[in-house]
Amino acid sequence: MTIDLHRLALDAIDAAADELDLGTWLRAMLHQPERSLAVQVPFIGDDGSIRVVPGYRIAHSTARGPAKGGTRFHPDVTPEEVAGLATLMSVKTAVMDLPLGGGKGGVTVDPKAMSELELESLTRSYARAIATNIGPDTDVPAPDVNTSERHMDWMADEYARVVGAPAPAVVTGKSLAAGGSLGRDTATAAGCRAVIAASARRLGLRSDARVVIQGFGNAGAHLAQLLAADGLRIVGLSDSRGAIHDPAGLDVAAVAATKAAHGSVIHHDAEHVSTTDLLALDCEILVPAALEGAIDAAEADAVRARLIAEAANGPCTPAADAILAERGVTTIPDVLASAGGVTVSCFEWEQNRRGERWTADAVASRLEVRMARALDDVWQVAEARRLPLRTAATVLGVDRIATALEARAGLGADELAS
């Protein structure tokens, strides 16, 4: 389903701005991205022809540090969607208290219909087109939907060619050989697992609680393996082709092997359910780890979980949110539950800038500390202001961005704020 993610992000910011009683100029700064770039991305097709697709890179805010956020390759990418996702990234990095702002990029293309050579040509062309707008001190891309370390290595290499010097800190999510960080590939999942474990304890859920995960990409697949290893039962899984169900718990490693061999979880030997019915399965924990807008009012009505952890960006619509809140379902919002990736991206950026290499244990323990602190911060705001977790997280993030903007404003800002 298509949702207006930009509208959604702005509505969330407005609600937080009302709660914080922010002045007009701060609201305007939060509404409008700092810098938006739309580019043409020509690349060479396997048949020798040149194809041209549109691409975008939007820096929503650098108030707290360089803009930071992923790069999405998807046929539905629009400048509005990228602006919305960039806005969410500013809130996400602020909730995590990282020294970074928010940005996002995207190319309107179907990468699943492309060969490896075409993808490399496309990615390098995109990197050249946005090279003037990105950099270790200005805007630092990373992977997102349908991009991975392969694409990030190409982007870093292309950027280095444009500026004439290696600059690994320009992009995160690179392979280890190209200056990536240990633990970056599993970071979104590890961060989500940390907030699920802490929230499940708060809610008094059983240690072998049943989990349904929608989406078996980087976040969903790793999370399924981590949670299964923790003793939770993964009773439902899906990818873009369909969903599978086993009330006794799926063998996640076997599902991953099936997906690697045959392209989809649906080839695993288990009961098939529709992707809509997946969301209504009997379980304690539901993790939307696919695309935005996956849970709307109808799906929310059918949800049987007590806890939702948003591993994807923007999976619950506002209508769904209202219904879930009414029904007493606790939702850990995307800006927190999916923030493990950007947090380890921040660690990668710091390592690159300092010429360091941290151990896997150092990365994992720093991530745990950050996630626990952010979750506590959000619960505290929620309790103090009597807000749902999503609004509390946005209030926390917006407050931190606004404080940074105010600190940097000129002497006249007080008058402007009134």
For 241, phi then psi, to 5°, come to: -95, -15
- With a CB cutoff of 8 Å and minimum separation 6, the contacts of 335 are 88, 91, 92, 95, 393, 394, 397
Burial zone of 262 (CB within 10 Å; 0-12 exposed, 13-18 middle, 19+ buried): exposed
| Spatial separation of the C-alpha atoms in residues 17 and 398, rounded to whole Å | 7
Q: Which residues on neighbouring strands pair with residue 36, listed in sequence order?
A: 58
Q: Does 68 bind ligand GLU (CB under 6 A)?
A: yes
Please identify which of the residues 68, 92, 104, 259 carries the catalytic annotation. 104
Nearer to ligand GLU, 60 or 306 (CB): 60
Q: Does 69 bind ligand GLU (CB under 6 A)?
A: yes
| Spatial separation of the C-alpha atoms in residues 101 and 159, rounded to whole Å | 21
Minimum separation from the CB atom of position 327 to ligand GLU (A): 27
Tell me if residue 104 is catalytic.
yes
Nearer to ligand GLU, 65 or 236 (CB): 65
Q: Does 77 bind ligand GLU (CB under 6 A)?
A: no
Nearer to ligand GLU, 173 or 397 (CB): 173
Minimum separation from the CB atom of position 391 to ligand GLU (A): 20
Q: Does 342 bind ligand GLU (CB under 6 A)?
A: yes
Write out the binding residues for ligand GLU, residues 393-412 only, by CB under 6 A.
none
Burial zone of 36 (CB within 10 Å; 0-12 exposed, 13-18 middle, 19+ buried): middle
Q: List the one residue from 341, 364, 390, 392 that touches ligand GLU (CB under 6 A).
A: 341
- With a CB cutoff of 8 Å and minimum separation 6, the contacts of 149 are 143, 173, 174, 175, 178, 180, 184, 185
Range in contact with ligand GLU (rule: CB under 6 A) among 64-72, 271-279, 387-395, 409-417 = 64-72
For 344, phi then psi, to 5°, come to: -75, -25
Number of residues that bind ligand GLU (CB under 6 A): 13
Q: Are strands 50-61 and 210-214 parallel, antiparallel or unpaired?
A: unpaired
Minimum separation from the CB atom of position 367 to ligand GLU (A): 12
Q: Does 338 bind ligand GLU (CB under 6 A)?
A: yes
| Spatial separation of the C-alpha atoms in residues 265 and 256, rounded to whole Å | 7
Range in contact with ligand GLU (rule: CB under 6 A) among 43-51, 267-275, 320-328, 335-343 = 335-343
| Spatial separation of the C-alpha atoms in residues 69 and 144, rounded to whole Å | 8
Q: Does 377 bind ligand GLU (CB under 6 A)?
A: no
Write out the binding residues for ligand GLU, residues 173-212 only, by CB under 6 A.
173
Query: Which of 178, 182, 153 shows the shortest CA–CA distance to 71?
Result: 153
Q: List the one residue from 3, 58, 134, 142 that touches ligand GLU (CB under 6 A).
A: 142
Minimum separation from the CB atom of position 173 to ligand GLU (A): 6
Q: Does 321 bind ligand GLU (CB under 6 A)?
A: no
For 285, phi then psi, to 5°, come to: -125, 130
Q: List the one residue from 33, 70, 236, 333 that touches ligand GLU (CB under 6 A).
A: 70
* Contacts to ligand GLU by CB under 6 A: 68-70, 92, 142, 144, 172-173, 313, 338, 341-342, 345
